[in-house]
Amino acid sequence: MSEGSAISIQELVVDYGTRRALGPVSFDVAPREVFALLGPNGGGKTTLFRVLTTAFPATGGRAEIRGHDVMRAPDAVRRELGVVFQSPSLDAKLSVRENLWHAGHLYGLSGRALATRIDEVLALVTLSDRGADTVEHLSGGQRRRVELAKGLLHRPALLLLDEPSTGLDPGARRDLWRQLLELRDQTGVTILLTTHILDEAERCDRVGILDRGRLVALDSPAALKRSIRGEVVTVEGDEPVTLRERILARFGGEATVLHNSIRIERPDGAAFVAELMRAFPDDIRAVTVGQPTLEDVFIHVTGRGLWETEQAAAQEGSA
Amino acid sequence: MSGVWLPAWTLLVRELTHFVRQRHRILGTIGTPLVFWVLIGSGLSGSFKPASMGPGSASHGMSYLEYFFPGTLVLILLFTAVFSTISIIEDRRAGFLQAVLVAPVPRSAVVLGKVLGGTAVAVLQGIMVLGLGPLGGIHLTIGSALLALVVVMITAFQLTSLGFLIAWRMETTTGFHAIMNLFLIPLWLLSGALFPASGASPWLKTVMMVNPLSYAMGALRAALYPAQSVADLCVPPFGLSMAVTVAATAALFGAGVVMARRTSWAHS
């Protein structure tokens, strides 16, 4: 166990009946860090989230929040955590202030101290003028910000957010992120969030990629992208599967077919494109060369695209 | 462990706020039983001649409207208890409960807050309906009304605890409605709400005797008629009724706390 970690996870395992949903997974999150768990739905990130919030028991291993074991000392853990669930936890029939007032009581705040604190968190999420509004009359983005305010009421050392920008339009998502990062800078709170949105993971200090219950990569977004040497060449053709085989036969290396196009990692993308065009002038419709993205990292470590993995998970779920 | 009272109180206040904002709930919980009371009470008044309440007994001449009044009151408590605990299922589905359960709050406080909230709403409605007693021919004194109120409070707490016990593990409200029709309504039917045990067949008499709600019903009748003997009212002695009612209430509430602690959500 590393001393002083905000979160410390060792060999954590969660089974749902006979099915292994998570693990074994080990990693640490440092204080003040903004940490993303990236992965497809069904990859295990919500399961890990539930264990960290003391909402679900782990099957094996350990998870500690600021030195408190989530299984043995859930009450101590709960006091350290501000939690924003994916599903809305606000009472839609009550006003914003009433929601925060009840939440404050659940965390042992009351009276004038609570009233002052409610003013502060509402200002923090720029909703000072909406306190009296009934939650059901707020927009999705505003509700999300109230959830955030609610999670911050008791000045938690750690903020855990499950898919925080679900249902938000791009503008609202940007606002939420600006506020999260400001919050970290101002209060020193540690933030762990789950996401399947690449753009969101890009903004974090470190990203852990969870796939099929395993942590398959863990580093800063920049380092993760550097792990893919060179550039990513994407080739579009009429028959991507046969074209891939022909490219491999000619140039060797590795190539994957994804979204009906062929994806190839090369140290020198531009030079490779020239060779490629000379070799298969009639079979290629379009070629692009790009810097690796986190999606490329995901494909690199799992052999599959994030989106395709989600589709498969959705089909499995509905079957 | 943080305090029990602050979180319990806040959950109770939330319940009352909901009640005040959703006034249509009153229609369902008070309206239906009152319609039953007037229709069944008036309809059966001519044919209601209970064996034990024959000529000479003090309750002779009690109309069915009057006999059915305490039963109606308990039905209102039952409906309110069901309405307020069914919201647990909605709270769980909507996500509100999830947030409560990851707060540093003892499970007992969650159960207490929810049950007290339902009880408070039920008692408020109970008071409104108790005020209608004289229309049914019940002579209320301050003493009898206060004693009846105490019984109403305990019974409301008991029924809300029972509702909590059913709702906690339930995933859909449909399931709760099935239990309501198959279990809760018969429980009420066989509590002496509709007919006294004296005229019932032996097996029914036995069922009524082991039904804890019969004792709440008996306590309420005894409280409303302080001048009459329990034999005339055809109910168990008041002390026994209260003892059984309090014991059943404590057992149901305790079971609710134990269950809330045991579920996967709770390991504290």
What is the share, in percent, of chain A residues with pLDDT greater than 90?
Answer: 46
Contact predicate A227/A274, CB 8 Å: no
- Cβ-based contacts of B104 with chain A (< 8 Å): 75, 78-79, 106-108
Residue B50 — very low, low, confident or very high, per pLDDT cuts 50/70/90?
Answer: low
Q: Considering the domain boundaries, does residue B53 fall inside one?
A: no
pLDDT above 60 (res B87): yes
What pLDDT is stored for residue A277 in this prediction?
87
* Strands, sheet with A7-16, edge to edge from the N-terminal-most edge strand: A19-29, A7-16, A60-65, A68-69
Contact predicate A61/A137, CB 8 Å: no
3-state secondary structure chain B: CCCCHHHHHHHHHHHHHHHHHCCHHHHHHHHHHHHHHHHHHHHHCCCCCCHHHCCCCCCCCCCHHHHHHHHHHHHHHHHHHHHHHHHHHHHHHHCHHHHHHCCCCCHHHHHHHHHHHHHHHHHHHHHHHHCCHHHHCCCCCHHHHHHHHHHHHHHHHHHHHHHHHHHHCCCCHHHHHHHHHHHHHHHHHHHHHCCCHHHCCHHHHHHHHHCHHHHHHHHHHHHHCCCCCHHHHCCCCHHHHHHHHHHHHHHHHHHHHHHHHHCCCCCC
Q: Considering the domain boundaries, does residue B172 fall inside one?
A: yes
Long-range interactions of A54-59: CB distance < 8 A, separation 24+: A54/A78, A54/A81, A54/B102, A54/B267, A54/B268, A55/B98, A55/B101, A55/B102, A55/B265, A56/A14, A56/B264, A56/B265, A57/B264, A57/B267, A58/A12, A58/A13, A58/A14, A59/A13, A59/A14, A59/A15, A59/A23
Tally of structural domains, chain B: 1
CA–CA min distance A4, chain B (Å): 22
Q: Considering the domain boundaries, does residue B49 fall inside one?
A: no
Residues in CB range of A38: below 8 A, 6 or more apart: A45, A194, A195, A196, A198, A201, A207, A208, A209, A210, A294, A298
Q: What letter would DSSP give residue A188?
A: -
Domains and CATH numbers, chain A: 7-224 (3.40.50.300), 228-318 (3.30.70)
**Interface ipTM:** 0.85
Contact predicate B48/B67, CB 8 Å: yes
Per residue in B203-230, pLDDT (tens digit) is 999 999 999 999 999 999 999 998 888 8
Per residue in A79-101, pLDDT (tens digit) is 999 999 988 899 999 999 999 99
What pLDDT is stored for residue A91 in this prediction?
94
Q: Who among B7, B21, B96 is closest to A105 (CB)?
A: B7
- Mean pLDDT confidence for A185-212: 91
pLDDT above 60 (res B55): no
Q: Count how many pairs of residues, chain A against chain B, have C-beta atoms within 8 Å.
A: 76
What pLDDT is stored for residue A310 in this prediction?
61
Residue of B4, B13, B100 whose CA lies nearest to A90: B100
Q: Considering the domain boundaries, does residue B229 fall inside one?
A: yes
Phi-psi region of B56 (alpha: psi -120 to 50; beta: other; left: phi over 0): left
Q: Considering the domain boundaries, does residue B52 fall inside one?
A: no
Residue B59 — very low, low, confident or very high, per pLDDT cuts 50/70/90?
Answer: low
Tokens of B43: 């309809």
CA–CA min distance A254, chain B (Å): 45
Helix axes B107-130, B5-21, angle to 10 degrees: 40
pLDDT above 60 (res A165): yes
- DSSP lists the bridge partners of residue A9 as A27, A63
A contact set with B (CB within 8 A): 53-57, 71, 74-75, 78-79, 81, 83, 85, 87-94, 98, 101-103, 105-108, 110, 150
Q: Considering the domain boundaries, does residue B54 fall inside one?
A: no
Tokens of A216: 């398959």
More confident call, B199 vs B162: B162
pLDDT above 60 (res A191): yes
Residue B266 — very low, low, confident or very high, per pLDDT cuts 50/70/90?
Answer: very low
- Which residues span the domain enclosing B216? 5-43+59-262
- Mean pLDDT confidence for A201-210: 93
More confident call, A96 vs A239: A96
CA–CA min distance B102, chain A (Å): 6
What is the share, in percent, of chain B residues with pLDDT greater than 90?
Answer: 53
Choose the most confident range, by mean pLDDT, from A105-109, A270-274, B264-268: A105-109
pLDDT above 50 (res A24): yes
Residue A314 — very low, low, confident or very high, per pLDDT cuts 50/70/90?
Answer: low
Contact predicate A168/A141, CB 8 Å: yes
Q: Considering the domain boundaries, does residue B86 fall inside one?
A: yes
Residue B78 — very low, low, confident or very high, per pLDDT cuts 50/70/90?
Answer: very high
Residue of B nearest to A98 (CA): B14
Residue B145 — very low, low, confident or very high, per pLDDT cuts 50/70/90?
Answer: very high
Residue B158 — very low, low, confident or very high, per pLDDT cuts 50/70/90?
Answer: very high
Per residue in A117-136, pLDDT (tens digit) is 999 999 988 899 999 999 99
Per residue in A295-313, pLDDT (tens digit) is 888 888 887 776 666 666 5
Q: Who among B14, B101, B268 is closest to A91 (CB)?
A: B14
What pLDDT is stored for residue B267 in this prediction?
36
Q: Considering the domain boundaries, does residue B115 fall inside one?
A: yes
Beta carbons of B96 and A107 less than 8 Å apart: no
What pLDDT is stored for residue A256 in this prediction?
82
What pLDDT is stored for residue A312 in this prediction?
62
Range in A29-38, A49-58, B76-85, B225-234 with the lowest mean pLDDT: B225-234
Beta carbons of B102 and A90 less than 8 Å apart: no
